Chains A and B, each alone.
Chain A
Amino acid sequence: GAGVSQTPSNKVTEKGKYVELRCDPISGHTALYWYRQSLGQGPEFLIYFQGTGAADDSGLPNDRFFAVRPEGSVSTLKIQRTERGDSAVYLCASSPQGYSYEQYFGPGTRLTVT
């Protein structure tokens, strides 16, 4: 079956611009996670959704970052006033339930802020 998909695969934007990154989880998965991965490092947790609600947003670095999941399926990560330090690969993962042990990752969106 189809895995987690993310669009775009690459995004180049200028400092100060607004960007949206999209994640399509595996059908039927209620839990959805966003992580950020810088070069040579492990993924860093940003936010977790259970259904439509953000169950844990403690990883969002500041108020420029926001994520939504209005219908409990597709999620969008939104970054305002982008900074060069936001450049990273943004990974999305989903799992059948929040307590399920396996998270299935998408291929990521590589964001470059110039």
Chain B
Amino acid sequence: GQNIDQPTEMTATEGAIVQINCTYQTSGFNGLFWYQQHAGEAPTFLSYNVLDGLEEKGRFSSFLSRSKGYSYLLLKELQMKDSASYLCAVKDNAGNMLTFGGGTRLMVKP
């Protein structure tokens, strides 16, 4: 089975940097995903890590350490539109579905 933990809520200031952590315990591992979800909307794909290290994509970066069962999503130059929930999800070896954490609700303040 899978157990995925992430903080419930975070607050940050416009223009700042925020790091959202995710820890996981899994019976297998075949990739970690971050999704963004605005209230009342569908989750949208942000990043995918399957090897250790940092993946950078514009203002967003995602890091993975498989030995520690740890990932983070880094958001730089925060904008008001970044206020959303950020979902960490893991794909295990056995299946193709994603197991999601509870999501981190990020509030960006002026």
- Identify the A interface with B (CB < 8 A): 4, 31, 33, 35, 40-45, 48, 50, 55-56, 58-59, 91, 98-99, 101-108
Contact = CB atoms under 8 A, between A and B. Distances in A.
Contact of B45 (A4, A45, A103): A103
B6 to A, nearest CB: 9
A4 B97 CA distance: 17
Interface of B: 4, 31, 33, 35, 41-45, 48, 50, 87, 89, 91, 95-103
Given A56-B95, A56-B96, A101-B33, A42 B87 contact: yes
B103 A42 contact: yes
A108 B100 contact: no
Given A101-B91, A104-B45, A105-B44, A41 B102 contact: yes
B48 to A, nearest CB: 5
Nearest to B105: A40
Given A44-B100, A56-B95, A102 B87 contact: no
A105 B89 CA distance: 14
Given A56-B96, A56-B97, A107 B42 contact: yes
Contacts of A98: 96
Given A43-B87, A106-B42, 10 more contacts: A31-B96, A43-B100, A45-B99, A48-B97, A50-B96, A55-B96, A56-B96, A58-B95, A105-B42, A105-B43
